[in-house]
Amino acid sequence: MSSNILYQVGNTPIVEINLKNEININLYAKLEFFNPTGSVKDRAAAYIIKKILDENIINKDTTLIESSSGNFGVSLSAYSRLYGLKFICVIDKNTTPLNEMLIKTQGAQIIKVTEQDKFGGYLLNRILKIKEILNSTPNIYWINQYENPLNAEAYYETLGNEICNGVLGNIDYIFLGVSSGGTITGVSQKVKERFPKVKVIAVDIFGSVIFGNTPQKRYIPGIGSSMVPNILQRAIIDDVVWVSEIETAKSCKELLKEHNIFAGGSSGSVYAAIKKYFSKKEIREPLNVICIFPDRGERYCTTIYDDCWCNEYLIDKERKTIND
Ligand SMILES: Cc1ncc(COP(=O)(O)O)c(C=O)c1O
């Protein structure tokens, strides 16, 4: 038993997904949307705030600040409140109204950036805004998920361990979506220690610059980035698979229709990437493949799960790109 729901981070379930066309793949998904505020980011928020308090890096009067397109903002708001800390969340125009409302409801102060940066996203301008606030506010701590080693450490200590202990036998492949790079950095370090032959496959979205692709306007939050995260330098990655936003939306709908999993955008990206990756490979021996599903579908009801939105934003975008 726990004295507070927010202490119930981790120990999320793993389910098997039956890939009909790939009889030699045992696919397992770790459902991170079972975390207290609904996403994998609870792990980083809970771990980092506790650690910096325990080590007196901050005190009870410190204000926390972070840039987030959604899930991390929700998690940090909840865990800041748990510890009685003030939290400023810098969001942008792409943040869905639902996420904005969730962050606000959890008690954060919101600052919204509305001007796009040179890559067509908002991240660089969000960071500029943070630097401005840091310069004018005493006793303030920037969580800085793109650079803070504690972000990766949170996943090394928690999710990485659970994955290593959660699947019977060996792990041959692990697929993870990347945004700040915290999850893949921590998890890759841990699983490679336990299963040195495991192949870690990063999943990114076209339009994200993380692995050197051309910047392009993106609409689905949670995966990809318009800057290369420093934290990723310590990740141990064997391969990268890029998927489009349309493939992401289609795969989310397939997960729901065929496997009853109502998952968020990056889960669809990861599922699309797995199918793409193995469709080109001949698999002679059965493989154990594990993937992470970071959040639930509700947060994408007015985007990915809305056919009108998909037509307007994703299909039109693909047509324009093909015509260009
Ligand atoms: C839905 C979703 N998927 C994947 C990720 C990627 O995690 P990370 O930032 O650790 O790379 C995030 C991060 O915000 C997310 O919100």
The reported pLDDT for the residue numbered 318 is: 64
Domain identity same for 26 and 165: yes
> Separation of 180 CA from ligand 1 center, angstroms?
7
Domain identity same for 188 and 293: yes
Domain identity same for 137 and 256: no
> Separation of 272 CA from ligand 1 center, angstroms?
16
Q: How many domains does the structure of the chain reveal? A: 2
From the CA of 44, give the closest atom in ligand 1: 10
Domain identity same for 162 and 208: yes
Residues 264-303 have pLDDT tens digits of: 999 999 999 999 999 988 889 999 999 999 999 999 999 9
Residue 188 and residue 237: Cα distance in Å, rounded?
7
The reported pLDDT for the residue numbered 317 is: 66
Residue 320 lies in a domain: no
Look up the CATH number of the domain holding residue 50.
Answer: 3.40.50.1100
**Candidates 68, 183, 227, 271: which one to mutate for ligand 1, based on the most atoms within 8 Å of Cβ?**
183
Pick from 57, 59, 54, 64: nearest CA to 86:
64
Residue 266 lies in a domain: yes
Residue 324 lies in a domain: no
**Candidates 32, 228, 266: which one to mutate for ligand 1, based on the most atoms within 8 Å of Cβ?**
266
Residue 304 lies in a domain: yes
The reported pLDDT for the residue numbered 149 is: 98
* Residue with CA closest to ligand 1 atom 1: 222
The reported pLDDT for the residue numbered 320 is: 54
* Residue with CA closest to ligand 1 atom 14: 222
The reported pLDDT for the residue numbered 123 is: 80
> Separation of 56 CA from ligand 1 center, angstroms?
27
Residue 264 lies in a domain: yes
Strands of the chain, DSSP E: 14-17, 25-31, 63-67, 86-92, 109-113, 140-142, 173-177, 199-205, 239-243, 287-293
Residues 136-168 have pLDDT tens digits of: 999 999 999 999 999 999 999 999 999 999 876
Q: Report strand pairing: 140-142 vs 63-67.
A: parallel
Rounded to a whole number, what is the distance in angstroms from the first to the last CA of the chain? 58
Domain identity same for 123 and 188: no
Q: Is 144 left (phi over 0), alpha (psi -120 to 50) or beta?
A: left
**Candidates 94, 179, 209: which one to mutate for ligand 1, based on the most atoms within 8 Å of Cβ?**
179
* Domain closes at, from 90, 116, 142: 142
pLDDT means per 10 residues, the chain with 324 residues, are 94 94 89 98 98 98 93 97 98 88 95 86 88 97 97 98 87 97 98 97 96 89 91 98 97 98 98 94 92 96 94 74 40
**DSSP-derived 3-state class of residue 71:** helix
Domain identity same for 169 and 291: yes
How far are the Cα atoms of 10, 58, 139, 219, 299 from residue 314, in angstroms, in the given order? 33, 43, 43, 8, 17
The reported pLDDT for the residue numbered 314 is: 86
pTM of the entire structure? 0.95
From the CA of 265, give the closest atom in ligand 1: 1
Residue 310 lies in a domain: yes
Domain identity same for 280 and 172: yes
Ligand 1 pocket residues where CB is under 6 Å? 39, 41, 71-72, 177-184, 222-223, 264, 266, 294-295
Residue 240 and residue 237: Cα distance in Å, rounded?
8
* Domain closes at, from 96, 112, 142: 142
> How many degrees, rounded to 5, is the angle at CA 68 between CA 30 and CA 103?
85
From the CA of 69, give the closest atom in ligand 1: 14
> Separation of 71 CA from ligand 1 center, angstroms?
8
Domain identity same for 219 and 78: no
* Residue with CA closest to ligand 1 atom 16: 222
**Candidates 30, 32, 41: which one to mutate for ligand 1, based on the most atoms within 8 Å of Cβ?**
41
The reported pLDDT for the residue numbered 322 is: 39
Domain identity same for 164 and 20: yes
From the CA of 178, give the closest atom in ligand 1: 11
Containing structural domain, residue 135: 41-142
Domain identity same for 107 and 183: no
* Residue with CA closest to ligand 1 atom 12: 222
Residue 67 and residue 229: Cα distance in Å, rounded?
13
User: Which H helix or E strand runs over 126?
Assistant: helix 123-136
Domain identity same for 60 and 195: no
Residue 61 lies in a domain: yes
The reported pLDDT for the residue numbered 313 is: 86
Residue 242 lies in a domain: yes
Domain identity same for 302 and 173: yes
> Separation of 25 CA from ligand 1 center, angstroms?
25
From the CA of 71, give the closest atom in ligand 1: 16
Q: Give every CB contact of residue 277 below 8 A, 6+ residues apart in sequence.
A: 175, 201, 239, 241
